[in-house]
Amino acid sequence: MTATTYRAPFPYFGGKSKVAARVWERFGDVGNYVEPFFGSGAVLLGRPHSPRTETVNDLDGFICNFWRAVLADPEGVAAWADHPVNELDLHARHAWLVAQRERLTTQLREDPDAFDAKVAGWWVWGISQWIGSGWCTQPKWEGRASAQRERIWFSPHCLPPVRVRSVQHDLFGGES
């Protein structure tokens, strides 16, 4: 028996959307499916068979919160996610969400019914725009001045003779 398949509701760096069909071809119709790194849920949502026993997990509190909030308050999540694309808002929300991570994760760990629709909406809004990995993570070196200095410090003796230029381009691609 086949079931309706669904697509992941957001792009996820490292997601398995492109291989979901092949996963199910190899697994077949398993009686108990366990997904240890759920992320966007692409493999489970792409299951071509009627569901049986399914267990999903992800250590990331933002992912857990998103799925809990969608189950409990889909309209609330949609309302918080409904916002035009805006670079400044993307960075402001990213910083705000990073600051919420510890509080949110503790709340989710202590209360299996807890969720935050605003966090879920802002998180899915941002991950849908963010390029690459790193959405809602703080770089390990951020805030460590000595580490930043080490990242940019180099000895001029390490480089062969190199010309360094600063070229400004106008809107039409020409040098000025």
pLDDT tens, 50-60?
Answer: 878 887 777 78
Q: How far apart are CA 109 and CA 104, in angstroms?
A: 9
Sequence letter at residue 149: R
Domain ranges, ordered by start, for the chain: 1-58, 68-154
Q: How far apart are CA 78 and CA 82, in angstroms?
A: 6
Residue 132 confidence (pLDDT): 75
Q: How far apart are CA 93 and CA 90, in angstroms?
A: 5
Express each pLDDT in 82-110 by its tens digit.
999 999 999 999 999 999 999 999 999 99
Report yes or no on whether pTM surpasses 0.75: no
Cross-strand pairs, 49: 2
Q: How far apart are CA 63 and CA 53, in angstroms?
A: 21
User: Is pLDDT at 150 greater than 90 in this prediction?
Assistant: no
Element spanning 65, H or E: helix 61-72
Lowest-confidence range among 25-29, 65-69, 152-156?
152-156
Residue 78 confidence (pLDDT): 95
Say which residues have a Cβ less than 8 Å from residue 158's Cβ, sequence separation at least 6.
Answer: none
Lowest-confidence range among 1-5, 19-23, 104-108?
1-5
